[in-house]
A and B are shown apart, each in its own frame.
Chain A
Amino acid sequence: MESSFFLEALVKGDSKTITEIYNTSFVQVKRFITQNKGNSEDAEDIFQKALLQLGVRYKREKFTIKSSFEAYLFTVCKNLWRRELNKHKNRVTNSEVVELVSEPKDNSLALIEQKRQELFLEKLNDISENCKKVLSLFFAKVSYAEIVVETEYNSETVVRQRVFKCKKRLTELVRNDARYQSLKEL
């Protein structure tokens, strides 16, 4: 079934389809969360937030999903869970977010973060395969020495220059995309 069918159903608040989404997707999400430091209640909470996020986003902008609806929903849940798990770290390093944020605001922030991440992944796919490989290793915090082993480059200096050039290409693509203006940090 088309992904837009499920998105339309969320906007319309079609209970039957929402139940169907639970039947097909919840188990997978629950498994992921319970295997990653969460419990059943966390899984329920994340799943509900994800469905609400999709409904609200589709209401405001008719976006398209390139993968299946199920796969996309899983990614959104996974990201919302990453967000929960890193919250403590974020509070420690950013004193300005210690203040209590209202639920609608927090949900809106999560939605913007999701869109930002999608934009970055889209741009990462637009650069050369070679750059994509080097940057994927770099962002995964693999050391330069290890990147030398993983790739055909023969020294850390060469890898460093390659990372620099690839990053430059990636940041150019991001900056030149009009969508980034409403998603970037000020």
Chain B
Amino acid sequence: MNLEEDILIERFLRKELSEEEKKAFLKRLDIDVEFKESFLLEKELYESLNDKDWSYANNVDPKELEAYEVVFQNEETKKLQEKIGKASREYQKKGKNNVVRLYTIISAVAAVFLLFFTFNFLNADIDNAELYASYVQKEELPSYVTRGDSDADTKILLAAEKSFKGKEYKETLEVLEHVNINNDATLLLYKGISYIELGNYEKGITTFDILIKSDLIDAEKGYWYKSLLYVKSNQFDKAEKTLKKIIANNYFKKKQAEELLSKIKK
């Protein structure tokens, strides 16, 4: 093929030929086998090596095509297809379950806290800490087990979760000391709640403040848990202030904050 023919093919592919030139070009493809071969290869390259296009196999060796079709249709391939489909469904389900689980956890925690406070104000003599321990259900906080990766950081997270759910709050805090958790809302909640459990309210407040000041999506949750900390530690003035902030800014748990505030004020 010479330069002239190459330019002609290129102009055809770039749709630069006039109607007449195009007609002559197509006619030549019909009669000139060598020219047609050059054109087809050029077209395949032109479409394959451009990210925005794709080179389709419209008319390839039927034997080659049939050989693959046979494999695509055999029993083993059908079984593989079923297994891939099953893995896909399970994977998607797991993702959905995680979302559902998170909502369940949030609702459960809210219900438990609500129950705790209602009970608390109706039975003023009952010890706050005892109630808290009975109803907090921390094992339902979000989990890292389903992340699927196994790098060093994930191992630390899993160790922290294991300790937290095993109510070993001191160990939880020890594990979390080795990793920067300032960009992970769940871990900050693990840490903050561990401090509440250990009665170290000052550090609990510091932890929730880190969450509040962060630019994480869940940053506002810090206010809710901080208000719960204040209630548990009998700092009702501060609890009231924090709850008002939640209500004014329409933060996480606004409705519960309103209920809780009305009970504190009673």
Contact = CB atoms under 8 A, between A and B. Distances in A.
Interface of A: 10-11, 13, 15, 18-19, 21-24, 26, 44, 47-48, 51-52, 55-56, 59-60, 79, 82-83, 85-86, 90, 94, 96-97, 103-105, 107-109, 111-113, 116-117, 120-121, 124, 135-136, 139-141, 160-161, 164, 167-168, 170-171, 174-175, 181-186
Contact of A56 (B52, B60, B72, B85): B72
Contact of B41 (A26, A52, A135, A184): A184
B81 interface: yes
B49 A171 contact: no
Contacts, number: 160
B84 A48 contact: yes
Given A60-B67, A117-B55, A23 B91 contact: yes
A47 B88 contact: yes
Contacts of A170: 45
Contacts of A96: 58-59
Contact of A44 (B61, B92, B149): B92
A139 B141 CA distance: 53
B57 A116 contact: yes
A50 B27 CA distance: 39
Contacts of A107: 68, 72
B263 interface: no
A120 B71 contact: no
Given A18-B84, A22-B88, A120-B48, 6 more contacts: A23-B91, A24-B149, A52-B80, A167-B45, A183-B61, A185-B44
Nearest to B60: A112
A130 B145 CA distance: 50
B144 to A, nearest CB: 14
B127 interface: no
Nearest to A183: B60
A44 B79 CA distance: 18
B81 to A, nearest CB: 6
Given A18-B84, A184-B41, A56 B58 contact: no
Given A18-B87, A60-B68, A164-B6, A185 B59 contact: yes
A120 B50 CA distance: 12
Contacts of B44: 116, 120, 184-185
Contacts of A111: 68
A141 B69 contact: no
Contacts of B46: 139
Nearest to A12: B80
Given A116-B44, A175-B41, A185 B84 contact: no
Contacts of B72: 52, 56, 103-104, 107-108
B42 interface: yes
Given A19-B91, A52-B77, A182 B64 contact: yes
Nearest to B6: A164
A122 B87 CA distance: 33
B91 A90 contact: no
B121 interface: no
B129 to A, nearest CB: 41
Contacts of B103: none
Contacts of A56: 68, 71-72, 77
Contacts of A59: 71, 76-77
Nearest to B67: A60
A185 to B, nearest CB: 4
Contacts of A108: 65, 68-69, 72
A11 B83 CA distance: 11
B3 interface: yes
A44 B53 CA distance: 22
A112 B168 CA distance: 58
Nearest to B70: A104
A24 to B, nearest CB: 7
Contacts of A171: 38, 41-42, 45
A160 to B, nearest CB: 8
Nearest to B43: A185
